Homo-oligomer: A and B are copies of this chain.
Amino acid sequence: MIKQWIPEEKPQKNELKKRLEAVQKKLADQQMLIKEHKLPVIVLLEGWGAAGKGSAIGSMIQNIDPRFFKVVSMSEPTQEERRKPFLYRYFVSIPEAGKFVFLDSGWADEVTGQRARGELKKRDYEDRIESIKRFERQLTDNGYLLVKFFFHISEKEQKKRLEKLENVKDTSWRVNEWDKWQNRHYNECLDVFDRYLSDTNVPGTPWYIVDAGDRKWARLQVLETLCSGIDIALENKKLASPLLQNVFPLADMPRLSEIPLDKSLTDKEYKAQLKQLQSRLGALHYRLYRKKIPVVIAYEGWDAAGKGGNIKRIAGALDPRGYEVHPIASPEPHEKARHYLWRFWNRLPKTGHIAIFDRTWYGRVMVERLEGFCSRNDWQRAYNEINEFEMELSKWGAVIIKFWVQIDKDTQLQRFEERQKTPEKQWKITEEDWRNREKWDDYETAVDEMLQKTSTVYAPWHILESVDKKYARIKALQIVVNTLEEAIDRQNKK
């Protein structure tokens, strides 16, 4: 793509100055519109080392109020970041609605660098490309404007700039090994960059190659492209995003109404199995840690179905330093202002750790759908987005176990009434629980659709029949133990 590209002719000095002033002013005005229309904007600056990305950011933020932007400078991932999925540090950096984030290098630099230096096999590279395309599409579909720039300079120009920087003590630290490597292997890098740009040049998030041989001219290209991108995004703001066909390998799921709920255990069976399974799980936890396998356990289910007690039996078997339970309530303002999966990306476990979610990202297709907290288009798109999210985790190596804790309507009523009668349990029952109960049938429809559409083979749903809570706890423990044992076996075979 870069190879065929023909740069636009650089305007005359006066013309350039005039256009720069005009576009600076325009961006200053646009920031108020962005705020008003709650448009989140990500500006990604990629390209050759020493091509002037920092200076371009400087000219963009010059007239933006500091409340409305953040500059994120990405270098090599830290130790902590290496223990998370590759997209983690980018996903957690996305802006709130109505604000800008400027990324000085991002996922393109990371992937092309690794590819050029031979650290990424062809197949892994292709996997990354697919992840990146999904990530960028999800952002766009969820109302983000993503503007991607590639700063291009010639081999000679880069060499000149690197030497200049290196010769001055106060700027020499700005030249890193990767910059120098690029210049020594300019043509190989050009091939890799070119290929990457072609691979990721899609309609919603196209690339803009910036002729960066002259700083002022580069600034003008960037500013004008950004402003026109904002204009278009503001115009399109109200359009719905296309629904993609859900093409994931799905497991068969029953409807809730078909699930028999008469299963139970005696106290004796329960105690014996609990002890035995918890001790197996405790031992497995240490093996997971050693093998650095991350685990995500997700709980959904009716109010009063017994999620809390079930989680406690899993957690009670684990080393408290190696797991975390994340109770998910309604999002806080800074969470609501971002992509709905943002707060879950933020809570992912490190490799070797276990994250247990008490309610999850499936809120999108249940409570948010039914209470109208998101649009119809939003929740309809979410099945696909969630399958993609879990696929990302699965490719990273995570074990994903999802539980639906099932009871019938009468059992719920009985438990609600008991909670209301028992002083220590009253805090567990609220007006909202009663209101949700009135919508039981709507929820059942939504849950059935969710179970059908998101039970992928890499992240299947498991039903826990919980009229007898003891039965549900033992079943959950068995599933967790079996799934983890299989995961460890699979890794041993590698």
> Does A58 count as interface, using CB distance less than 8 angstroms?
yes
Among B312, B316, B321, the residue within 8 A (CB) of A104 is B321
- How far, in Å, is A172 (CB) from chain B's closest CB? 8
Interface hit among A73-81, A135-143, A256-264, A390-398: A73-81
Residue of A65, A73, A171 ringed by the most chain B CB atoms within 10 A: A65
Please report the total number of A residues contacting B with Cβ < 8 Å. 48
Least Cβ distance of A53 to chain B in Å?
9
Known contacts A78-B80, A79-B78, A80-B80; A286/B170 CB under 8 A: yes
Contacting residues, chain B, for A35 (C-beta < 8 A)? 427
A79 to B290: give the CA distance in the assembly, Å: 22
A36, closest chain B residue (CB): B427
Q: Which residues of B contact A80 (CB under 8 A)?
A: 78, 80
Question: Would A315 and B66 be within 8 Å (CB), given that A32-B427, A321-B54 are in contact?
Answer: yes
Residues of B within 8 Å of A356, CB to CB, are 66
Q: Which of B66, B290, B332 makes the CB contact (< 8 A) with A170?
A: B290
Q: At the interface, yes or no: A491 with Cβ under 8 Å from chain B?
A: no
A286 to B358, CA, bound (A): 47
Contacts of A283 in B (CB 8 A): 170
Q: Given A66-B325, A424-B32, is A57 in contact with B320 using a C-beta cutoff of 8 Å?
A: yes
- Beyond A65-B308, A332-B334, A424-B32, whether A319 also contacts B286 by CB under 8 A is no
Which B residues touch A66, using CB under 8 A? 308, 311-312, 315, 325, 327, 356, 358
A264→B342 CA distance, assembly (Å): 49
**Which chain B residues border A121 with CB–CB below 8 Å?**
none
Q: Is A415 an interface residue when CB atoms closer than 8 A count as contact?
A: no
Give the Cβ gap from A245 to chain B, nearest Cβ, in Å. Answer: 38
Task: Determine the chain B residues whose CB is within 8 A of the CB of A57 once the complex forms.
Answer: 320-321
A286 touches B171 (CB 8 A): yes
Q: Known contacts A54-B319, A104-B321; can you find 14 more A-B pairs with CB under 8 A? A: A54-B321, A58-B319, A61-B315, A66-B315, A66-B327, A66-B358, A67-B325, A67-B327, A71-B321, A79-B79, A169-B290, A170-B287, A170-B290, A333-B333
Which of A's residues lie within 8 Å of B, judged by CB? 29, 32, 35, 54, 57-58, 61-62, 65-67, 70-71, 73, 78-80, 102, 104, 169-171, 173-174, 283, 286-287, 289-290, 308, 311-312, 315-316, 319-322, 324-325, 327, 332-334, 356, 358, 424, 427
